Structure formats: structure tokens, C-alpha cells
Amino acid sequence: MNDRDLSLNGAVLTALPSGALWWQAQNLLCVSDLHLGKAERHARRGGSPLPPYEIRDTLDRLRSDLDETRAQTVICLGDSFDDLQAAQALPEDARQTILALQSGRRWIWIEGNHDPGPLDIGGEHCWELPLGPLVFRHIAEPDGMGEISGHYHPKVALGSQSRPAFLLDSRRLILPAYGTYTGGLRSTNKVLSGLMGPDAVAILTGKRPHRLPMPR
């Protein structure tokens, strides 16, 4: 095993450089917190304009991960859209891209705290998904076991930089945000320190694998 391989409740998984999670035995790719449409929501609420390429950039990276893994199942782990209006304002070319990515695959939208209800955009919708020894949900539960979640956008400071990171202990895995315009919560925050056990490690995203005890 290398720094990107991990085991949770008997399942062997891989933390990809992009922030996606690959479960080879299930031919499954999992991503969390795409926050598609964040630039649109930010402008709508009076914020300073953000470059409008975030949806395309996020979907291009997702396409690249799907091309590499050839995953037959995709789980989007909540907060896939920044809010209901952002989902409704999704450009037609982005909608068509999502439909093309869904073609020939099982696609599951886990509902998040930002997410609208089911959309006319294909795929299945559920609050959480038990699958084999694992359960996929948006927000970690204190007594979760074999749990894969997102929501917190975990990050770790490494030198002068802060990088998105997977957080793993014996009970759960928290994924970094996959979306282009997403902030993050340092692993030293008391919320994450309280959720993750003393054995927790951080696996940083990016091309160079880096695994270290979770900073607290």
C-alpha cells in the first residue's frame, strides 16, 4: 500500500489526488461538495464577481477521474449544488455534460445541507446509502462506523500552505471538497478534532502523496 491507499471497515479504498475517492472492488467513484453554481449564488447575493468558470473546471476534473477509473457507479456526497437557485440556473451546457457523464453509469446524489430536492437531471437521490461494509452520508454522525462523509471541507496546513485533505480514523473517512470554489475547515478545529479519533491521519490532495498524523 502507498500513502493514498487506505482501509475502512474492511473496504480497501484509494484517495485520489483530485480529492475523489476510488473503491475498486465496487468500481465506484465518490466525490463530495461540488458546490456547482457557487459563483452565480455569490453574485446573486451581492458579492464581488467571481470568475465564472468554476462549474466547467469542476466537471472537467470529474470527467478526468471517470476516464481514468472507468467507474460504473458515482456517488456525489451532498452539497453538489450551492443552493436551489444555483441548481435551477445551471447552464445548459453544464447540464448536458452531467447527463453525458451519467450515461451508462449508476449515479447517486446524496442530499446535503445546501442541496435542493430531486432534480430533473438524472440519477438517484437519497439521504444516505449503505453499501457493503460502508455507509455514505453528507454529515458525519458521532456513532458512525464504516462511514464516509463530507460537509466539513477539511484542510491541513503544511508549511506556509493549506491543502485539502482526507481525514481517516478507524471508524470514518471525511472527504475534502471537490468543487473549485470551496473554502475549508482546518483539521485543528474543535469540530473535526472531536469527530476524529486519536489514531486519525490526514491524506493530502495533490500530485505528491503526503500522509501524516492529523494535526490537532
Question: Quick one: pLDDT band at residue 80, thresholds 50, 70, 90?
Answer: confident
The confidence score (pLDDT) of residue 25 equals 97
Indicate the average pLDDT of the chain. Answer: 89
Please spell the DSSP secondary structure of the chain, one letter per residue: --TTEEEETTEEEEE-TTS-EEEGGGTEEEE----BTHHHHHHHTTPPP--TTHHHHHHHHHHHHHHHH--SEEEE-S--BSSHHHHHT--HHHHHHHHHHHTTSEEEEE--SS--S--SSSSEEESEEEETTEEEESS--TT-SSEEE-SS-EEEEETTEEEEEEEE-SSEEEPPP-SSS---EETTSHHHHHHS-TT-EEEE-SSS-EEEEPP-
User: What is this structure's pTM?
Assistant: 0.92
CATH number of 5-213: 3.60.21
